[in-house]
Each structure stands twice: as structure tokens, then as C-alpha cells.
């Protein structure tokens, strides 16, 4: 609810030796490798934070992970290998973008399925309604409603007559 | 005495709410006008008592009465007055009191301005409001009493969390709550309609202004929170797809859908059942948000509220209201008559598409937020869902939505001419394509997505402009006629154009910021110069200063561009002694819609300091967009149709009034 507050508090609890995400001494000398490291960092979760990537987080653990990622890149790992290495170590929890597999099938497919399903349902409904006739049968007015309508109509004529008179 | 009075006022408010939740309903069953009118007085009295209770808590905080646990835990005698006041809702108990105060405020507003509502509808609406209020009063009184005393009062308080000591706290939570809680009105109207078993176009006309008010506040509240995070957290992030943020985004998505479906219902008497369902879902998502944040279910470690009794209590409220309302809906919805027919290609059709896309987007966010919780509980599988997931799933849905946005307002009701509208939008489409080509050429390769998205943003803005141009006859009619027609145009048409253009503006800001953001991270010593995006930042020196309840270290940077001195930026780092924690105060330099952003890290022993400098092109558009949207909402709200055109029910009483 107070969306930032929790994030703030989570952050503050972790940030006592405050530092800001990537620190100057972590940066790799090869800009291409550093860019890869940043890209990977954004997909990895700082496991002690609330939904923060290690790229954003100040936590010491995030720093350790950032250094680890850079170490693996320096050792010549591909991006996929780095991710595999971290998943083997810390589990799927470390991935901010869950892998497409049995447990996450529903999560990934929900959006497209809902869109297609919803679209299909709407299309069918429109077809059914247009086939079933020009208009939906409307129920006739109840005596009560008739009376109110009559009252309204007479009201209207009276007021327009009055308007004419003035 | 103040604390006890506040507590007692809250108990009285609960009593009033209990009366309000039953007596008017009995009145409606018996057709007793006096009993139905009870709702009006109790709603106003409730507002009075909750207001008194809230004022009592504010006074306790302002007086620094540390014999009250809530004040002791969240305040400090040296804290500036503004933060003493805002600190009232900077904690669990106080924020719940704010929640019910706003709920009572909305109840009071319906009671005072709902004179044109049919009596039994008003009685039902206020009774449902009172059910919600009773549940939350009970929650506060049983689990989160802000007026609890401490037996041996300490001399000094523990201070408010430093990150919350910011003007953002003064604005963001109240705005957000006005949004969340505002949706309770459309919820109450929906339940009342289901209970009465009747609903018509007039119903939508009563509900729409309330929904619009809530939506405006929620839009501004979310934008405000995002900007607060941007400048306060110190790395320039403005949206994190954090569950707590998602909790505010979901009601916004559902509320936006509701706003549009209520339009169809009001104008064409169609989509009734769906509008009712959306009203229920929107407020349910607000309640879910309250639950997610207040129960601490998202993070067991860091969220404020980790007390399980609170969590279980809110879960009960949640189940009761969401389950109950959906059950009522399932039972009664079929009795509601279906309304006007329309061809798939029509204004209604476009609004249905809008609803489909917004609801799916909302479902994706809901799923992304709850799926990890469910997997951990059911399958013992720990996983995360973060920004990269939403970028892949949420973004395409919104791209589709934005592509359709310019078409909606230009299609005719009942049966539209897609080809004709496409021709009329040709200029807007060309504008979009030209911008894509220019951006593409300018960045020379790189990500193809960014130019496309910017083109989409331009198309949306140009589409909104085209709509107004068409309606006023600009270009083809003489200027005086255009002016006359512009004045005659319903405010809601202007509102639509502004709100839709706001979407495009925000999109352009988001794309520019994420794609062309440049950063510079280094350890700097005095007289070092950093070069970022054409700006030279020279670190002049570091100095220390004592604030009211903190010490701060300030770094002064001289900013210049092409040798021309511009200004001095002074980011700082504050250490709060009482809590032993610190905050970064970033310095911002605004140039047009772009910003230069400087924040500080730790100082080293050799007198150097870690510095993060960003240049964020077009970043302000991200928040100007929502401001435009809210402005559009305000315009629409001021529309004659909603202001005076509210339908007067044909009642016997009115026949006695003079005709003119």
C-alpha cells in the first residue's frame, strides 16, 4: 500500500553500511564485459531484499553476487553459464525472470491464454447475439412502471406548457 | 486525556457504523423513510468521530506525548513539525486510522451530496460502506490500537524511519488512500444494486464521478510515490515491480477499466453485469493490497507488520468481503437485464477491447505477485518474479492497448467505420512513423524497440490531438467557429484527449529513460571532474553540517557544459543518530524534461567519496504523463453532465416544485 515505504525500510535495514548498488571498485575494465555483467545483474535477485535486483541493491550479499557474476564472466562463461552457475548454487529463487518450465508454465501462459480466451468468448457472444435476432426481447413495462411513465410524461407536457406561457 | 478521548471516539464510531450497517437496511425492507434516513446522520456523525480520533492522534504526535506507544515508537521531540504530523501515518496503526478516516470522509460525502439518489439506494450504499467501516474499526481496536499507553513513559522517542522524513510522506499515502478507499464507493453502489436487484444507466451516472475521483487520486498517488522513490532511494529507479507497488497498480488497472465500462453503461445501457463485477473487483484488489502490505505476507523479514494476528484478521476481512460480494454477484447477476446491442466495430467494441486488455494486464500483475507465494506454500518451490518477467508479459499488452487508444474515441457508438477512422488517423500514424524513422536514424541501430515505442507514444498523442482537431473543425473551419466549437465541446471530450495523450507522454519518458540513461560511477576526490552526457561536474569539496535531528555530509559540485558554468549541485548524505541509519539526498538538476542526478556513496579514509551521477533524458515525462491523465480526469469530472446533469429521480416530492 505505502509502496515505497516497505521498499525503503527493507532497504534501510540492509543498507547500514550504505553504498549504492554497483560500486566503483567492482567495475570491470572491459566495457563490453561490464555491460554483460550489468545486464545479468538486472535479472538476478538479491536474495535478502524485497524483490530487488543485485544491480539495484545495496546489501552486502548483492555485492558478493555482483562480484561473483563478474568473476564468472572474467573466467569466460557465457551469460547462460553464469545463470546456470548461480541457479545451481542458490536455486531458482535467484532468477527475477523465472525459467519456462513445469512449475512456471501457468505463470507464463496465463496472459496469452486469458487474452485469447477472453477474445474468443467475446467473439462468440457477439455472434450469438447477432444471430439470435436484431434485439434482445425486452420485457413489457410493469403496471407500476407504466404509471410512473405516464406521470413523467404529463409532468413534461405541463412544464413545457409553462415554459411557453412565461 | 487526548489519547483516551481519541480511543473513545473510535469506539463510538464503531457503534455508529454498526447502527448504519443494519438500521437503514431494515428501513429499506419496511419502506420506512425515517429508518432509511438514519444512514445519512450516522455517516456524518461517523465522520465527526473518526475525524476527532484522527485529530487526537495528530495532537499526540505534535505534542510528542511519549506516554503513547505509537508516538514513542515513531516520533522524536527534535523532529520538524511537518514530519511530526506526517509521522502519524508513517506507521501501521496511524496509517490504518488514516484509512478509516478517508473511508468515513467518502461516506460523509455520499451522505451530504447524495440528495439526488433514490432513498433506498442511498440507504443501501451507506449500509455497505458501514460494513466495511465496522470491519476496519474492529481491526484497529482489536489488533492495532494507536492510542495504547506505556506504563513508564520514556523521555525521548525512537524517531521516525529517516527515509520517511520527507515531503513525499505528506502527500503520497493520503493520495493513495483517497484512491484505494474511493473505490469503496463504486463497490458499495454495486452491492446496493445487486441487493436491490435493479440497475440502470442512471446508476452508472452516479457511480462514474466517484470512480473518477478515486482514479484521479490513485493516478497521482502512484506517480507521486514513484517520483519519491526516484529521488529518495539514490539510484534513480522509479518502478521496481515490487509486490507493494503492484498492490497499488492492480486497483489502478481495474479502476481504469471500470471507468471505461461505466461509460458504456451510462451511454448505451450495455455491459451492466460486467461493470458491476469490475466495481467489486476493483475494491477487492484495493483490499488485497491492504492485506499484502499490512499482513507482511510478502516478506516475512522486512515488512512492518509481521504480527500474524493482524494478518489473519485482514485475511478474514478479505475473504468475507470478496467472497461475500462475489457470491452475491453470482446469485443476482443473472437477474440484471442485458442492455443495448452493438456491432464489434464500434465505440462500445473499442471500450470492450480496452477492458479486455486492462483486465488481462491486471491479471498478469496479480498472478506475478501471488504466484511465488502460492508455489512456496503449495509446492515448496521458492521462486522470484521480477521486472524482467513483467517487461516481457505486461509491456506487450500495454503496447496493444496503446495502439488501440486513438481509435476508441473516434469510433461511433453502435456501429463504427474502422476504415474511415483509420483514414482520419492517417496524419497521426504518419507522425508516428516519421518519429520512428528519425529516432532510428539518430541512434543508428541499437535496440529497434525504443524507436518503435517512441513512435507509438507519438501516435497516441497525435491521435488525441486529431480527435480534438476533428471535433472542433480546426484547419477546415474559420477560426471563430473553431473557437466557438471548442468552447462548446463537452469537457469530458477534452478530458479524454488529455488523459490519452498523458499515456503517450509517459510512454516516451519511460522509453527514453530506460534506453538512453547514462551513468557514471566512481570514487572522486576534491577537484576531480566527471564528464557525463556533455556535462562537466567538478567536485569542489565536502562539508559537514548539523540538521535538527541528523548530521549531514554535503558534496558540492560545480556543473558546467561546454565551458559555461551552470549551477552548483549539492547532494548529501544524512546520518540519523536515534535510529543509527542514514539516507541519501540526491541532487537534481532539471534541464527541460531531462535531469542530471547526483547521489553520494561512502566516503573513504583518504577524503574521497563514492559518487553516482546519472543523466536521465526525458525522465520527467514519466510523471508529467500521469499528471496529464489526472488533469484529464479533473476536466471530465467538471463536465456539466456529471455536475448538474445528474439525473433527478422522478419522485412525488418533485412534482410540487415549480417547473422553472
Residues of A in contact with B172 (CB under 8 A): 2, 4
Q: How far apart are CA B544 and CA B600, in angstroms?
A: 14
CA end-to-end span of chain A, whole Å? 58
pLDDT for res B581: 81
Cα four-point dihedral sign B527, B531, B534, B535: negative
Selection from B232, B91, B239, B247 nearest residue B176 by Cα: B247
Q: How far apart are CA B261 and CA A51, in angstroms?
A: 34
Selection from B227, B91, B86, B238 nearest residue B165 by Cα: B86
Q: Mutation test of the interface with chain A: which of B369, B387, B396, B654, choosing the one with the most A Cβ atoms within 10 A?
A: B387
Residues of A in contact with B586 (CB under 8 A): none
Selection from A50, A44, A53 nearest residue A11 by Cα: A50
Cβ neighbours around B202 below 10 Å, total: 18
CB interface of B with A, residues 510-539, below 8 Å: 521-523
Q: How far apart are CA B529 and CA B191, in angstroms?
A: 64
Selection from B577, B560, B462 nearest residue B508 by Cα: B462
* Residues A4, B232: C-beta atoms closer than 8 Å: yes
* Residues B293, A159: C-beta atoms closer than 8 Å: no
Cα radius of gyration rounded to whole Å, chain B = 27
Flag whether residue A163 sits within 8 Å of chain B, measured between CB atoms: yes
CB interface of B with A, residues 335-374, below 8 Å: 337-338, 341, 343-344, 352, 356-357, 359-361, 363-364, 367-368, 371
Domain membership of residue A118 (yes or no) is no
* Residues A43, B388: C-beta atoms closer than 8 Å: yes
**Assigned C-alpha cell, B245:** 507497488
Q: How far apart are CA B325 and CA B399, in angstroms?
A: 33
Residues of A in contact with B650 (CB under 8 A): 148, 151-152, 155
What's the total number of domains in chain A? 1
**Residue B224: closest C-alpha in chain A:** A4
Q: Mutation test of the interface with chain A: which of B386, B551, B579, choosing the one with the most A Cβ atoms within 10 A?
A: B386
Q: How far apart are CA B335 and CA B266, in angstroms?
A: 19
Domain membership of residue A81 (yes or no) is yes
Q: How far apart are CA A116 and CA A122, in angstroms?
A: 10
Residues of B in contact with A134 (CB under 8 A): 341
Query: Which residues of chain A fall below pLDDT 70?
Result: 1-21, 130-140, 155-166
Nearest to A115 among B299, B360, B368 (CB): B360
* Residues A12, B163: C-beta atoms closer than 8 Å: yes
**Nearest chain B Cα distance for residue A30, angstroms:** 15
* Residues A111, B393: C-beta atoms closer than 8 Å: yes
Flag whether residue B304 sits within 8 Å of chain A, measured between CB atoms: yes
Flag whether residue B180 sits within 8 Å of chain A, measured between CB atoms: yes
User: What residues form DSSP beta bridges with B583?
Assistant: B574
Q: What three-state secondary structure class fits B530?
A: strand
* Residues A20, B228: C-beta atoms closer than 8 Å: no
Name the DSSP letter for residue B535: E
Flag whether residue A11 sits within 8 Å of chain B, measured between CB atoms: yes
**Assigned C-alpha cell, B385:** 518474479
Q: What is the pTM (predicted TM-score) of this model?
A: 0.89
Q: How far apart are CA B211 and CA B275, in angstroms?
A: 12
**Assigned C-alpha cell, B300:** 516475512
* Residues A1, B293: C-beta atoms closer than 8 Å: yes
pLDDT for res B299: 56
Q: How far apart are CA B518 and CA A65, in angstroms?
A: 23
CB interface of A with B, residues 88-127, below 8 Å: 91-98, 103-104, 106-108, 110-111, 114-115, 118-119, 122-123, 126
Give kind and range of the element (H or E) at residue B599. Answer: strand B594-603
CB interface of A with B, residues 122-161, below 8 Å: 122-123, 126, 129-130, 134-136, 138-139, 148, 151-152, 155, 158-159
Residue range(s) defining the domain that contains residue A28: 22-94
Nearest to A148 among B361, B580, B650 (CB): B650
**Residue A100: closest C-alpha in chain B:** B389
pLDDT for res A155: 61
**Nearest chain A Cα distance for residue B217, angstroms:** 14
pLDDT for res B640: 66
Q: How far apart are CA B219 and CA B503, in angstroms?
A: 12
- Please say whether the beta carbons of B553 and B603 come within 8 A: yes
Domain membership of residue A9 (yes or no) is no
pLDDT for res B15: 97
Q: What would the DSSP string read from start to end of B369-393? A: HHHHHHHHHHT-------HHHHHHH
- Please say whether the beta carbons of B189 and B207 come within 8 A: yes
- Give B442-451 contacts, CB < 8 A, sequence gap 24+: B443/B516, B446/B515, B447/B515, B450/B511, B450/B512, B450/B515, B450/B516
**Nearest chain A Cα distance for residue B268, angstroms:** 14
Name the DSSP letter for residue A119: H
pLDDT for res B478: 87
Contacts of B476 (CB under 8 A, 6+ apart): none
Domain membership of residue A150 (yes or no) is no
Name the DSSP letter for residue A30: S
Domain membership of residue A41 (yes or no) is yes
- For A105-129, the pLDDT digits (tens) are 999 999 999 999 999 998 888 777 7
Residues of B in contact with A159 (CB under 8 A): 659-660
Q: What three-state secondary structure class fits B414?
A: coil
Residue B534 burial class via C-beta count within 10 angstroms: exposed 0-12, middle 13-18, buried 19 and up: exposed
Flag whether residue A24 sits within 8 Å of chain B, measured between CB atoms: yes
The number of C-beta contacts closer than 8 angstroms across A and B is 234
* Residues A4, B225: C-beta atoms closer than 8 Å: yes
Flag whether residue B244 sits within 8 Å of chain A, measured between CB atoms: yes
Query: Which residues of chain B fall below pLDDT 50?
Result: 300-305, 644-660
Domain membership of residue A70 (yes or no) is yes
Selection from B184, B194, B21, B215 nearest residue B110 by Cα: B184
**Nearest chain A Cα distance for residue B316, angstroms:** 18
Give kind and range of the element (H or E) at residue B568. Answer: strand B564-569
Residues of A in contact with B248 (CB under 8 A): 1, 3
Cα radius of gyration rounded to whole Å, chain A = 32
- Please say whether the beta carbons of B392 and B364 come within 8 A: no
Domain membership of residue A63 (yes or no) is yes
Flag whether residue A28 sits within 8 Å of chain B, measured between CB atoms: no
**Residue B523: closest C-alpha in chain A:** A24
Domain membership of residue A6 (yes or no) is no
User: Residue A81 sits in a domain of what CATH number?
Assistant: 1.10.8.640
pLDDT for res B655: 42
Q: What would the DSSP string read from start to end of B112-164? A: HHGGGS-HHHHHHHHHHHHHHHHHHHHHHHHH--TT-B-SS--SS-----GGG
Amino acid at each position: 500500500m505505502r509502496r515505497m515505504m516497505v521498499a525503503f525500510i527493507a532497504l534501510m535495514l540492509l543498507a547500514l553500511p550504505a553504498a549504492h548498488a554497483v560500486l566503483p571498485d567492482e567495475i570491470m575494465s572491459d566495457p563490453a564485459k561490464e555491460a554483460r555483467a550489468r545486464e545479468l545483474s538486472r535479472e538476478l535477485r538479491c536474495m535478502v531484499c524485497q524483490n530487488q535486483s543485485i544491480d539495484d541493491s545495496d546489501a552486502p550479499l548483492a555485492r558478493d553476487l555482483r562480484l561473483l557474476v563478474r568473476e564468472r564472466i572474467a573466467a569466460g562463461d557465457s551469460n547462460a553459464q553464469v545463470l546456470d552457475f548461480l541457479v545451481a548454487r542458490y536455486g531458482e529463487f535467484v532468477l527475477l525472470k523465472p525459467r519456462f518450465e513445469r512449475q512456471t508454465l501457468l505463470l507464463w501462459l496465463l496472459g496469452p491464454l486469458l487474452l485469447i480466451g477472453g477474445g474468443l468468448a467475446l467473439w462468440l457472444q457477439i455472434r450469438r447475439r447477432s444471430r439470435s435476432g436484431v434485439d434482445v426481447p425486452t420485457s413489457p413495462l410493469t403496471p407500476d412502471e407504466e404509471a410512473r411513465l405516464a406521470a413523467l410524461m404529463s409532468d413534461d407536457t405541463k412544464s413545457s406548457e409553462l415554459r411557453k406561457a412565461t | 486525556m487526548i489519547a483516551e478521548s481519541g480511543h473513545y471516539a473510535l469506539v463510538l464510531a464503531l457503534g455508529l457504523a454498526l447502527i448504519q450497517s443494519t438500521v437503514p437496511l431494515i428501513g429499506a425492507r419496511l419502506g420506512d423513510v425515517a429508518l432509511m434516513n438514519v444512514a445519512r446522520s450516522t455517516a456524518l456523525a461517523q465522520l465527526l468521530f473518526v475525524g476527532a480520533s484522527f485529530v487526537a492522534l495528530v495532537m499526540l504526535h505534535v505534542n510528542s506525548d511519549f506516554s503513547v506507544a505509537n508516538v514513542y515508537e515513531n516520533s522524536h521531540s527534535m523532529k520538524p513539525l511537518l514530519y511530526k504530523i506526517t509521522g502519524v501515518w508513517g506507521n501501521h496503526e496511524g496509517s490504518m486510522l488514516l484509512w478509516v478516516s478517508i473511508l468515513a470522509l467518502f461516506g460523509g460525502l455520499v451522505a451530504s451530496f447524495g440528495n439526488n439518489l433514490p432513498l433506498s439506494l442511498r440507504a443501501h450504499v451507506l449500509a455497505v460502506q458501514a460494513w466495511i467501516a465496522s470491519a476496519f474499526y474492529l481491526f484497529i481496536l482489536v489488533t492495532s490500537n494507536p492510542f495504547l499507553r506505556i506504563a513508564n513513559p520514556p523521555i525521548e522517542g525512537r524517531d521516525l524511519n529517516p527515509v520517511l522524513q520527507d515531503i513525499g510522506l505528506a502527500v503520497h499515502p493520503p493520495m493513495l488512500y483517497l484512491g484505494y478507499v474511493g473505490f469503496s464507493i463504486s463497490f458499495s453502489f454495486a452491492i446496493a444494486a445487486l441487493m436491490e436487484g435493479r440497475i440502470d444507466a442512471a446508476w452508472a451516472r452516479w457511480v462514474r464521478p466517484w470512480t473518477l475521483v478515486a482514479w484521479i487520486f490513485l493516478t497521482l498517488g502512484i506517480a507521486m510515490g514513484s517520483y519519491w522513490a526516484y529521488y529518495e532511494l539514490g539510484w534513480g529507479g522509479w518502478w521496481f515491480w515490487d509486490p507493494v507497488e503492484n498492490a497499488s497498480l492492480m486497483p489502478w488497472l481495474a479502476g481504469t477499466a471500470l471507468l471505461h465500462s461505466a461509460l458504456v453503461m451510462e451511454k448505451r445501457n450495455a455491459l451492466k453485469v460486467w461493470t458491476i463485477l469490475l466495481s467489486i473487483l476493483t475494491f477487492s484488489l484495493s483490499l488485497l493490497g491492504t492485506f499484502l502490505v499490512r499482513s507482511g505476507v510478502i516478506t516475512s523479514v522486512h515488512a512492518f507488520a509481521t504480527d500474524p494476528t493482524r494478518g489473519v484478521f485482514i485475511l478474514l476481512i478479505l475473504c468475507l468481503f470478496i467472497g461475500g460480494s462475489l457470491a452475491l454477484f453470482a446469485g443476482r447477476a443473472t437477474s440484471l437485464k442485458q442492455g443495448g446491442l452493438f456491432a464489434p466495430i464500434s465505440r462500445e467494441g473499442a471500450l470492450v477491447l480496452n477492458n479486455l486488455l486492462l483486465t488481462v494486464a491486471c491479471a498478469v500483475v496479480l498472478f506475478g505477485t501471488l504466484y511465488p507465494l502460492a508455489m512456496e506454500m503449495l509446492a515448496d518451490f521458492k521462486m522470484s518474479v521480477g521486472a524482467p518477467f513483467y517487461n516481457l508479459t505486461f509491456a506487450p499488452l500495454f503496447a496493444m492497448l496503446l495502439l488501440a487508444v486513438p481509435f476508441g474515441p473516434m469510433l461511433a457508438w453502435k456501429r463504427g467505420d474502422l476504415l474511415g477512422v483509420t483514414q482520419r488517423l492517417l496524419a497521426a500514424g504518419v507522425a508516428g512513423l516519421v518519429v520512428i524513422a528519425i529516432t532510428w536514424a539518430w541512434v543508428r541501430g541499437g535496440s529497434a524497440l525504443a524507436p518503435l515505442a517512441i513512435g507509438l507514444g507519438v501516435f497516441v498523442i497525435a491521435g488525441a490531438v486529431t480527435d480534438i482537431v476533428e471535433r472542433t473543425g480546426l484547419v477546415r473551419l474559420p477560426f471563430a467557429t473553431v473557437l466557438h466549437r471548442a468552447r462548446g465541446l463537452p469537457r469530458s471530450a477534452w478530458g479524454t484527449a488529455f488523459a490519452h495523450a498523458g499515456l503517450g507522454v509517459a510512454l516516451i519518458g519511460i522509453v527514453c529513460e530506460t534506453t538512453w540513461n547514462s551513468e557514471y560511477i566512481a570514487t572522486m576526490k576534491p577537484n576531480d571532474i566527471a564528464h557525463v552526457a556533455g556535462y562537466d561536474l567538478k567536485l569542489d569539496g565536502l562539508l559537514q553540517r548539523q540538521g535538527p535531528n541528523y548530521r549531514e555530509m554535503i558534496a558540492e559540485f560545480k556543473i558546467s557544459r561546454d565551458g559555461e558554468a551552470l549551477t552548483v549541485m549539492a547532494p548529501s548524505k544524512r546520518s540519523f543518530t536515534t535510529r543509527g541509519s542514514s539516507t541519501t539526498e540526491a541532487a537534481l538538476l532539471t534541464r527541460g524534461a531531462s535531469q542530471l542526478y547526483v547521489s553520494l556513496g561512502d566516503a573513504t579514509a583518504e577524503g574521497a567519496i563514492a559518487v553516482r551521477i546519472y543523466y536521465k533524458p526525458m525522465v520527467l515525462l514519466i510523471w508529467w504523463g500521469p499528471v496529464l491523465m489526472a488533469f484529464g480526469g479533473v476536466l471530465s469530472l467538471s463536465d456539466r453532465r456529471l455536475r448538474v446533469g445528474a439525473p433527478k429521480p422522478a419522485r412525488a416530492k418533485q412534482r410540487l416544485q415549480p417547473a422553472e
